[in-house]
Amino acid sequence: MSMTTETLKANLKEPAIFCCRRRKGTVISAADLEDPSLFDDMAEAGLLTLSGDALTVEEALGATLLADCEALTPILPSMVEGARKTEKEKAERPAPAEAGEPGGAPSAKGASGMMHIEIKSLEGLSLDLPWPGLFPPAAVPVNAPAAVPAVAPAAVQGEDKTLRTLTKKYFQAADVVIGEKTSFENGVLTLDRGLLEKAVQADPLVKEIKMDVIKPAGRHIYTDTIMDVCPIAAKVSGTLGEGVTHVMEGAVFMLTGVDEDGTQVHEFGSSEGYLDEKMAFGNPGCADGNDIIIRVETIIQRHTGMERRGPLAAHKCEDVIIQAARDVLKTANQAPLRDEICRDVKKYGRPRVVLVKEIMGQGAMHDNILCPNEPCGVTGGQKNVDLGNVPVMLSPNEVLDGGIHALTCIGPSTKEMTRHYFREPLVQALAADEELNLLGVVFVGSPQVNDEKTFVSERLGAWMEALGAEGAIVTTEGFGNNHIDFISHIGQIGKRGIPVVGVSFCAYQGQLVVGNQYADAMIELNKDQKGFENEVAGCSEICSKDALRAVQMLKNKMMGVEIKPAPKKWSQQVVDGNNLLLGL
């Protein structure tokens, strides 16, 4: 398939290969050259052998073919006359860098406000020059569209402005027991067994509920599929995102569920099995290595496991028990282990960026609860499906204060559970970055119907434009249908001239189900050794290294640093190489 004009511009440095048989005397144009995006497939199928001596596309354009030539033949200098560069010049050209995950390019520097230059021909000479802005207005991202260029606002230097402050006070849970009265004294959380009777009354769809305590040494125990991991956090003063929140450290709730027929609630990828084998302990959404797990097992009405109401009922019942723990945590009489101060800060003079989190919104069992009354709670929250899946903006503090309760029941390894949002690595990384001004976190649902997908995606683009965003990272959990929205979000942002980076699980499959010209910077989340979606809860969710790679890639793209195309299939070597570049 020959190249279009747009394809040609993006592939000038690629090898020049004839797409069809060409006659002597042909003056080479884009119509004569094969699309480089097909090279890997052709090479894998044995149809094409790339040659290191081949001219590049930009060298071959306008040259005249000296003899008839068959399709899929690399164009060598000896085959044409009038090539733009000689073979000698080609040999002197530096060897290209290995293809890798986008982001393997040089890192942006400038946090100090100075540009550092070293000239190797003058030994010992180094200069430190004032650099007025890390991202000069003239910087243009690679492949940025010309149709609607981003309007970079005038950088106004000034003191940062703290919009709101959240203090998280952490209290250690040394032990958890089930007893006669709920209390939290001397580091021991006691849960009243009578809470079960109260909890099961929260929703008639829950037919039975059980609770037990799993210590770190006792995790080789069978579990039904893991619906959620939820921290124990209680609002002491203020509203979500500000004031004081107490957090219990060392203990988390884990919700499981089956229906009356014994069918796992999350049958679309179940993590049932031995607990020590079915959770990626230590990942953001999971229990940590030393956590005590309070397991709440639910049995819901038959045939409701694949509907919204079934899983929601299980979460509502669990929330009754967690609320009792929250209430005693609020009045903890012991000294906190530590305080964590979270600030929503307006950073003047820094590029305005937005984190977009695509969440499930396809009905059935796929939705989330936004902005509950208590951190990570259920009561008082709004479901994104009921809101029409339209984009909803939360501040970074609101997210880190439990503004999201996850109901999602997608594949276990990629789904983001409630604890994930409570300590979301990308929110933390972007909020802490002194070179970027994080405007907020947009949550946008993934509807079932294509028309609705288009609608919410266009609304997201309008939001980004109105915000004057100068960069964005888009993430999604799961794999497959939701990638239609995911890539549309990237397109809606990209076509407005806003540099955008995608973060997703693709792994062995290597590619999204759809794509567009703006999806040229992607972060792979796979952690499975063979590159597959597995049944280990939280295995391939966003972790801190992924977040730092994504932030660096966004900076690179905003600076106009070239991002090399990734291999078509997942390669851990590429991820490791980029982590090495960043010192991770």
**Known catalytic residues?**
409
Residue ranges of alpha helices (H) inside 28-141 are 39-44, 57-60, 87-92
CA dihedral of residues 530, 536, 540, 544 (deg, nearest 10)? -130
What's the Rg (C-alpha) of the chain? Answer: 27
- 262 contacts 291 by C-beta, under 8 angstroms: no
- 290 contacts 172 by C-beta, under 8 angstroms: no
296 forms beta bridges with: 211, 255
- 522 contacts 101 by C-beta, under 8 angstroms: yes
Structure tokens at 480: 């497959």
208 forms beta bridges with: 299
Q: How many CB atoms lie within 10 A of CB 116?
A: 12
Tell whether the torsion through CA atoms of 207, 213, 219 and 220 is positive or negative.
negative
Q: How far apart are CA 457 and CA 110, in angstroms?
A: 34
Burial 368-391 (b: 16+ CB within 10 A, else e): bbbbbebbbbbeebebbbeeebbb
Which residues, in sequence order, are CB contacts of 427 under 8 Å at separation 6+?
Answer: 355, 396, 399, 400, 438, 441
3-state secondary structure of 256: strand
Q: How far apart are CA 40 and CA 46, in angstroms?
A: 10
If phi > 0 it is left, if psi is from -120 to 50 it is alpha, else beta; for residue 526 that is beta
3-state secondary structure of 295: strand
Length of the chain: 584
Pairing, β 338-346 against β 161-172: antiparallel
CA angle 406, 451, 143 (to 5 degrees): 85
- 563 contacts 521 by C-beta, under 8 angstroms: yes
3-state secondary structure of 309: helix
